[in-house]
Structure 1
Amino acid sequence: MALRTTAVLCNNMKKWAYNLAGFNKYGLMRDDCLYENDDVKEALRRLPDHVVDERNFRMVRAIQLSLQKTILPKEEWTKFEEDKLYLTPIVEQVKKERKEREEWEKNY
């Protein structure tokens, strides 16, 4: 019983923090906010074109809304349950490959 209560509380805190961050009010997803270093750029290169196009649309819309100093209507906000990590697994794979390559070059 205590574990279930803790899980519910933890999930509610995640939703609260997600909404507090504010990027969802512009229609962005968590992975849209990643800093674009070399690993993220490589991961973006590996994504299918339609996913990159969707990401670019969200980014341009968010920039436009920010310049207009407005946000989307509440029904268009990205919901915590709908936000999926589409880029993070690929970024982790790219980092792993880079570290493996660096280790290989160091040893051989």
Structure 2
Amino acid sequence: MITGASGGLSKFISICFAEEGAMLALCDINEECLNETAKMCESKGAAVVATTCDVSSLDQVQSFISSAGEKFGGIDILINLAIAIKPPHSILEHDLETLDVSYRT
């Protein structure tokens, strides 16, 4: 299970796991980029469940976990790289509200 899978490090990790034959449950709030990552992983032979999910929504996260568990029979690894703030900006620009949202996700 990889959150924030539409780009950057999480996309790279998704593709690496796909190359190793992992079954992947991927989520991200950006549906278009998530689907691109899913297609790349499937092209490597991986079974993929890709779900558009806002990780700041408990209901959406629970639905994602349930669908992944049903499809694959369980979850062995969680790589949680999703973040509910809008980069890019410097850490020095974060206020307490932004940090709170980040920590809760």
Same fold? TM cut 0.5? no
TM range (shorter): under 0.3
Task: Report which of the two has the higher share of strand.
Answer: 2
Task: Report which of the two has the higher share of helix.
Answer: 1
TM-score after normalising by structure 2: 0.23
TM-score after normalising by structure 1: 0.22
Question: Quick check: which has more Rg, 1 or 2?
Answer: 1
> Which structure is higher in RCO with an 8 Å CA cutoff and minimum separation 6?
1
